A and B are shown apart, each in its own frame.
Chain A
């Protein structure tokens, strides 16, 4: 499926079975987060998640 990149406006290929919370890097350099809800699939720029539990 194709979803519009909220940053550059170009289409992004999103796998049909993409899950909410998956991360996709778009060609324009933006890191996007898949959000799936009743209305379908959206993309939003991934905010910096500041805390983590790194190895």
Chain B
């Protein structure tokens, strides 16, 4: 029987749903609890294909790479995971591929960040290159606010204090879009609706079904190609002037809220895609 691995650190609803869907699609899921195993480089008995579901960014990329050394195909691969872990790397890949993104600047000292903000124009958004759930993402309306944010950041442990990412603030319409790509398929999207400009569902944003129009579908496919990824949750803003702009990319996307809001079984699509890849 076809064995497909599911690698994870914490077993959530998503991972169970994927495992059940694999069984329905004629595969035997092999659960790989990454906090209860070790991987010797270049060796070991692993399934030929492993779905990467680790919540921890570093565990996700490192374990994917270790499994890859043993000949395993990991979805997503370690490189797209590494790229998507870092908002600057992601923005730079997308920018190179001609995908519209918010205007973004990299700076390496607080002084240069202040200068960059003058160039972009206030308000600006300051964010850690490697955060999620909206943490430490902050908006500055003027230089004084940006100075205060930059000062504060020096005292926050775990934030890279040598790399600064600022962006133009996009006046989005009280929501942003999370769209899913699975292989060549763009099965579902949600709006994350919020009164606050930070719309993460972990921060109180509400998930509502969104339509995937042709433009969004094509954009999502282009992003996945540029990132070299198979499965992505892509965060998109609706810029009143420019239309869709891509904010960030999640290589191990959560999808519980998407399934609930759209009725679309993302886990089935993931399982079907994994079985198809493994049989190829």
Interface residues of A (CB under 8 A from B): 19-23, 33, 35-37, 46, 49-55
Contact = CB atoms under 8 A, between A and B. Distances in A.
B31 A49 contact: no
Interface residues of B, number: 35
Given A20-B33, A33-B35, A54 B10 contact: no
Given A51-B85, A52-B133, A55-B202, 10 more contacts: A20-B33, A21-B31, A23-B11, A49-B56, A51-B57, A52-B132, A53-B55, A53-B57, A53-B253, A55-B253
Contacts of A22: 11
6 contacts: A19-B31, A21-B10, A21-B35, A51-B85, A52-B56, A55-B178
Given A23-B11, A49-B55, A54 B202 contact: yes
B254 A54 contact: yes
Main secondary structure of the interface of B (DSSP, over half): mixed
Nearest to B249: A53
Contacts of A49: 9-10, 55-56
Contacts of B207: 55
B197 interface: no
Contacts of B9: 21, 49
B130 interface: yes
A55 B31 contact: no
Interface in B58-82: 58
B11 A55 contact: no
Contacts of B134: 54
